């Protein structure tokens, strides 16, 4: 294994200084191999190595060397916003070289022309895909793409857009990164890239299973070494074993409820561990101070933190997740019990990873359970081992039946992850892909369009079949026009810019075209019922109540098919939640009433904000001004969670739903009223905030904002 001294790199001396400022004097074997294979000369590479092997620095060297040598811009693409923020923070180091680093995610109906002033742009796959559709001038200057977490090609939801981006990015210099690509030679060939594949890790990984029974727990590692622990609960026994020996633990459970229950159980068990009570009291207080979390969540996490434990899942607000992650990185919290989404979302290494379940719930399957993929397990186990703290990491799968030990060991530990395959093989994803190509490339002949399609990972015969049916469907439904050369219609262009699925656009257009105006609840239900709508679980006990509470006529009738009926109910639940939200029902009441988390509510607001925005633009392009007016008002209410009378006030930066209601209840109803009653506003909001709000109101009235 070669460790290349940083001083030997053939790069600008300032680059070496930045790397050394991080305490790095030698490149590790993976990084050294990338340099050897032509990273600094712009060679196209696919690097597939374990988590923690330094792939981000490889990306930095690739981007910076190209920008300094050739000019142009570089784009770093990630699948998740959390990762985008994480990479942006790391890349800010390069501003010491007078390079500007920018970040953009979300807000799909914009070209972000302001990014023309930046040398490095960090973004998500979805945002980059939408930017190509808007064709900002600065994108022509991009000469280098980094495609991070490329294994998301295999993700059923995000895979199609990752593949769409890869098809267009591979026309430029690129660097693709992943921890888990078993068919890396095939993927490298598809990308026209040189593969670098190695199992080298900075911290070696010991994998095994832990078998629980009434007599105790037995750990069986891959190398056949055995460890016996007291206690009949595997997760508790091994967690205590690791923490007592100075380590931290990530426990993965298959549901939010199980994660929370496990965290409570571990907190009780941690009573026998000597912890730093002063540090944990500080963490506990931070949970109580988080503004965007639900009261119940804050109280529970605050209590668990006193014993060094927390739970983590997508239902929590960003503020709560930030406290959990920061406290774990600082080694104050000792244990996090999480759902598998954490494995890919953030960089949180631990001494040990415990995979508590190999099954997860899937209501579409008979029996409602399916096994985790090998790739998902590899993502979780990859978090084991903290560089600089641990000599090795440990990853254990809990097995509750001795007969399954050999099978689990063979499937998850001794096998490679599943090969990456195209996820464009369905009508919804493929038609959106074709629409995006026409938006980004302009007018194309069928042959030119098919050339792009042939660059996907799809089987050529399958691709041809989807192509023919796709062109026919898009034409028949008014998205494209033309015979010899295809182009987007006005409707197709607007739908593409909005970044909604064409099937979503068709549903909204068809219902709005044939219906009179409806109440807010009806619009919310329609938008939630589209393919882009958010999905929520609906329990048996909720079904009748949801139907009873949908008090106004809906655009969509109850379907007879069970799956569609379930989707109908899910959309009804989303609509009722959002209707409470825009009626200014207290957030904690909403969370309790519908048994959702604060993070769920934030995600629903964000998605329904986008869909209501798209809805009123679709209404406008089809000439239904009556629906347009209603949807425009609805969008403004969804964005801030307000009744209609507060819309003028929430235009003022710093004034949200609660402050707007306080001002309105005291006779301050418009920005003009703020200016006329500055002292009253200060008395209501406080001196400092009141002054700021008054200044912002003045700017609005003056037309500055």
* 31 appears as a binding residue in the annotation: yes
Give yes or no for residue 171 having a pLDDT over 90.
Answer: no
Cα 160 to the chain's mean position, in Å?
Answer: 15
pLDDT of residue 562: 79
Is 324 within 8 Å of 310 (Cβ atoms)?
Answer: yes
> Cα separation of 107 and 514, whole Å?
29
pLDDT of residue 368: 55
Give yes or no for residue 110 having a pLDDT over 70.
Answer: yes
* Kind plus residue range of the DSSP H or E element containing 464: helix 460-476
Q: Which residues of 243-267 are buried (b: 16+ CB within 10 A; e: fewer)?
A: beeebbbbbbbbebeebbebbbbbb
Side-chain-side CA neighbours of residue 327 (13 Å): 32
Surface-to-core class of residue 314, CB atoms within 10 Å of its CB (0-12 exposed, 13-18 middle, 19+ buried): middle
Give yes or no for residue 704 having a pLDDT over 60.
Answer: no
Angle among Cα 328, 329, 330 to the nearest 5 degrees reads: 90
Give yes or no for residue 73 having a pLDDT over 90.
Answer: yes
Side-chain-side CA neighbours of residue 498 (13 Å): 27
Per the prediction, the chain carries an average pLDDT of: 93
Q: Which residues of 620-657 are buried (b: 16+ CB within 10 A; e: fewer)?
A: bbbebeebbebbbbbbbbbbbbbeeebbbbbbbeebeb
> Cα separation of 108 and 131, whole Å?
7
Q: What is the mean pLDDT of residues 337-355?
A: 87
Give yes or no for residue 362 having a pLDDT over 80.
Answer: no
Is 423 within 8 Å of 153 (Cβ atoms)?
Answer: yes
pLDDT of residue 366: 46
Is 251 within 8 Å of 338 (Cβ atoms)?
Answer: yes
**Per-residue pLDDT tens over the stretch 17-52:** 999 999 999 999 999 999 999 999 999 999 999 888
User: Please, which pLDDT band fits residue 344 given cuts at 50, 70 and 90?
Assistant: confident
pLDDT of residue 212: 84
- How many CB atoms within 10 Å of residue 116? 15
Q: What is the 3-state secondary structure (H, E, C) of 122-136?
A: EEEHHHHHHHHHHCC
**Per-residue pLDDT tens over the stretch 559-615:** 888 788 989 999 999 999 999 999 999 999 999 999 999 999 999 999 999 999 999
| Percentage of residues in the chain having pLDDT higher than 70 | 98
Q: Which of 646, 638, 656, 648 is nearest to 520 (CA)?
A: 638
**Per-residue pLDDT tens over the stretch 285-333:** 999 999 999 999 999 999 999 999 999 999 999 999 999 999 999 999 9
pLDDT of residue 401: 87
User: What domains does the chain contain, in order, with CATH numbers?
Assistant: 4-197 (3.40.50.300), 205-413 (3.40.50.300), 427-498 (1.10.10.10), 502-641 (1.10.3380.30), 647-701 (1.10.150.20)
């Amino acid at each position: 294994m070669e460790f290349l001294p940083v001083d030997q790199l053939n790069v600008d001396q300032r680059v070496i200084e930045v790397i050394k400022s991080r305490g790095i004097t030698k490149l590790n074997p993976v990084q050294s191999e990338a340099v050897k294979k032509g990273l600094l000369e712009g060679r196209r590479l696919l690097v597939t190595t374990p988590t923690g092997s330094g792939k981000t620095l490889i990306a930095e060297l690739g981007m910076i060397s190209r920008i300094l040598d050739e000019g142009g811009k570089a784009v770093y693409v990630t699948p998740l916003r959390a990762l985008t923020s994480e990479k942006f923070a790391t890349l800010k180091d390069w501003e010491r070289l007078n390079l500007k680093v920018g970040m953009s995610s979300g807000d799909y109906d914009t070209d972000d022309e302001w990014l023309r002033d930046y040398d490095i742009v960090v973004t998500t796959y979805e945002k980059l895909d939408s930017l190509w559709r808007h064709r900002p001038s600065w994108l022509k200057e991009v000469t280098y793409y980094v495609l991070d977490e490329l294994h998301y090609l295999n993700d059923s939801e995000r895979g199609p857009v990752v593949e769409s981006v890869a098809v267009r990015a591979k026309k430029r210099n690129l660097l693709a990164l992943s921890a888990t690509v078993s068919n890396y030679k095939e993927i490298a060939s598809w990308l026209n890239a040189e593969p670098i594949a190695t199992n080298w890790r900075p911290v070696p990984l010991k994998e095994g299973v832990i078998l629980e029974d009434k007599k105790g727990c037995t750990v069986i590692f891959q190398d056949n070494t055995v460890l016996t622990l007291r206690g009949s609960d595997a997760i508790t026994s091994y967690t205590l074993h690791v923490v007592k020996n100075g380590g931290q633990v990530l426990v993965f459970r298959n549901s939010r409820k199980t994660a929370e229950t496990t965290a409570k159980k571990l907190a009780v068990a941690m009573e026998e561990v000597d912890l730093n009570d002063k540090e944990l009291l500080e963490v506990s207080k931070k949970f109580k101070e988080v503004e965007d979390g639900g009261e119940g969540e804050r109280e529970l996490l605050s209590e668990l933190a006193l014993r060094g434990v927390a739970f983590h899942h997508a239902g929590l607000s960003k503020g709560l997740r930030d406290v959990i992650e920061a406290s774990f990185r600082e080694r104050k919290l000792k244990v996090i019990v999480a759902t598998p989404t954490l494995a890919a979302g953030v960089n949180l290494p631990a001494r040990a990873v415990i995979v508590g379940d190999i099954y997860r719930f899937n209501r579409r399957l008979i029996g409602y359970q399916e096994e985790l993929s090998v790739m998902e397990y590899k993502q979780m186990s990859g978090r084991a081992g903290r560089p600089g703290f641990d000599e090795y990491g440990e990853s254990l799968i809990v097995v509750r039946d001795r007969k399954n030990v050999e099978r689990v060991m063979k499937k998850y530990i001794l096998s490679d992850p599943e090969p990456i395959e195209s996820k464009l093989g369905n009508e919804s994803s493929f038609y959106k892909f074709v629409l995006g190509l026409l938006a980004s490339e302009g007018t194309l002949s069928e042959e030119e369009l098919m050339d792009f399609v042939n660059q996907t990972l799809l089987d050529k015969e399958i691709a041809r079949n989807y192509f023919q049916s796709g062109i026919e469907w898009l034409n028949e439904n008014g998205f494209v026009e033309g015979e010899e050369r295809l182009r987007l219609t006005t409707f197709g262009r607007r739908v593409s810019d909005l970044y909604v699925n064409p099937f979503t656009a068709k549903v909204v257009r068809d219902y709005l075209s044939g219906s009179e105006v409806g109440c807010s609840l009806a619009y919310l239900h329609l938008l939630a019922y589209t393919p882009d709508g958010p999905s929520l679980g609906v329990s048996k006990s909720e079904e009748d109540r949801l139907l009873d509470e949908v008090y106004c006529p809906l655009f969509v009738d109850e379907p007879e098919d069970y799956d569609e009926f379930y989707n109908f109910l899910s959309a009804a639940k989303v609509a009722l939640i959002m209707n409470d939200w825009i009626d200014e029902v207290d957030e904690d009441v909403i969370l309790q009433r519908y048994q959702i988390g604060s993070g769920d509510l934030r995600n629903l607001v964000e998605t329904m904000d986008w869909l209501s925005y798209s809805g009123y633009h679709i209404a406008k392009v089809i000439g239904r001004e009556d629906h347009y007016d209603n949807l425009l008002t609805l969008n403004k209410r969804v964005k801030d969670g307000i009744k209609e009378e507060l819309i003028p006030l929430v235009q003022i930066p710093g004034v949200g739903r609660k402050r707007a209601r306080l001002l309105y209840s005291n006779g301050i109803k418009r920005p003009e009223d703020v200016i006329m009653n500055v002292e009253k506003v200060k008395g209501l909001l406080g001196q400092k905030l009141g002054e700021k709000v008054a200044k912002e109101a003045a700017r609005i009235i003056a037309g500055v904002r």
